[in-house]
Structure 1
Amino acid sequence: MSDHIVQSFDVELRALTAHILQLGVLAEQQLTDAVWSLRRGNEQMAKEVAEREERLNLLAARIESDAVSMIARRQPLAIDLRHVMAAIRISSNLERVGDLAYNIAKRSMAMSATAIPAELAEPMQRMAELTLLQLKSARESFATMDMHAAYRVWTEDAVIDAMHTILFKDIVQCMADERAAAFDLAHLLFVVKNIERVGDHATNIAEDVVYMVSGALPLGKRPKMDESTLPRGHA
C-alpha cells in the first residue's frame, strides 16, 4: 500500500473518530439536559432535548455510512479494521443513549409540576452524574485508545447497577407510602431505568475500546449488581 493511500486512510480515520467524539458530546449533553429538565420541572429544556434528537440520529447515520464506505474502499486489516468496526458499534450505542435521553425528556414533560421528593431526586442526580462520568470516560478512552481507562469503565458499571437497585426500591416504597403522585413515581421508575441503561451503553463502548486495542474482549463476566425487578427493554 502506497504512502499516499495510507495517509488518506489515516485522514479518514481521524475524521471518523472526530465525528464519534462529537456524537458522544451531544449524547452527554442530551442526557444532562433531560435529567435537569426533570429535576427543575423545566418543560422548555425538555422540548429542546426532543428537538435535538434528529440531529443526533443524523450524525450517527453519517458515521455508520462513512465507516461502511471506508471498509468497502480501503479494506483495512487488523487494528485499522477493528477501529472502523468499533466506530460503527460505538455510534450505535451513543445513538441509543440519545434515545434514552429523549425518553427521559418526554417523561419529564408528562409529569406534574410537583417537585420530586428530595429523597429520590438527589440520589437520582448522583446516579445520573456518575453515569455521565462513565459515558465521558468511555468516549475519551476511544479517543486516546486507552484500554486501561476502558477497563475501569467496564468494572465500575456495577456501582451504577447498585445505585439503581436502591433507588428502584425507594421509589416503590414511596408509592406504597403515597408520598408522591403514583403517576409521577411510575414515570420515575422508567427514568432511573433509562439512566441505568445509559451506564450499560457506556460499558458496551468500553468493551469495544478494549477489543479495538487488544483484539480481545475483557476477560470474565461483566460485573452486574442490578437487583431491580423492572424487566430490561422498557423505555
Structure 2
Amino acid sequence: MGVSTSSPENSFASKGISVVTVDFPPVNALPVDGWFALADAVRAAGRDPGVRCVVLAAEGRGFNAGVDIKEIQARGQSALVGVNRGCFEAFAAVYECEVPVVAAVQGFCLGGGIGLVGNADVIVASEDATFGLPELDRGALGAATHLARLVPQHLMRALYYTSRTATAAELHAHGSVWRVVPRAELLPSALELAAEIAAKDGELIRLAKSAINGIDPVDVRRSYRFEQGFTFEASVSGVADRVRDTFGTTGTTGREEA
C-alpha cells in the first residue's frame, strides 16, 4: 500500500519511462501523507535525467477517490490544512514535472483525482472511467481549476454544481482524453504513448514541457490556491461539517473529497 515507482518491463524498460503507481485500498482515497508521497515520487521521476516521460497509474477498481474524509473528521483542522497542502503539492508536482505526464485512468476519478489528471499532459482512460467533483456533496470545494481543463466552461459548472460525473467517452469527445480502451489494455496503451513521447530527445522534451506550461492561459497553482481558501472558509464556518455529517448517514463510504 502506498506510492511506488518502477520502470516498465520488457522493451519499455530502456526507453526512458517511469511509472508512478498509487495504491491505497479500498478506493484510493489518499491520506495526508499519501498526497505528499505522490508529489515526491512524481518530482523525483521528473528529475531523473534518464526519464523522458512519466506514467501516473493506480491499482484497484478506481484511479482516485480524492482525500480520506474520515481522516479529516478524526483529526479536524490539522488534517484539513495538511490535505490542502498535500493536494496542492501533488497537483503542482504533476503540472511542473520536468517531463510529460501520461495519466492512465480506470474506474472512478473523483475529487483530487481530477486535480491530478487535469494537470497531466495526456490522459488515457478505460471504458469504465468516470470523472467528477462530488465536492458540494462532501462539504468541500476545489479542483474546478482542473475540471475546467477537461470540459468546456458551462459543462464544468453544471458538473460542479450537481456533483455529476462525465464518462471517458464524453471527455474523449471534448478532446481531453487521448484514447478510451478496454481496461485490460489501459496500461499497455498508456505505455505505448509514453514510449512514443520518450523516443524524443530528452533535453528537447524537457524544453517543450517548460514552453507549453509557459504559454498556459491559466496559472493553475494560483487558481487552485484561491479555491482552497473557500474550502477552508466552509470548514471554519461549520458548513463543511454539517454537509459531511449528512453525507456520513447516506450509507456511502465517506471517503471521497478533494
Structure with the higher fraction of residues in strand conformation:
2
**Greater Rg over alpha carbons, structure:** 1
Tell me if TM exceeds 0.5: no
Which structure carries more helix by proportion? Answer: 1
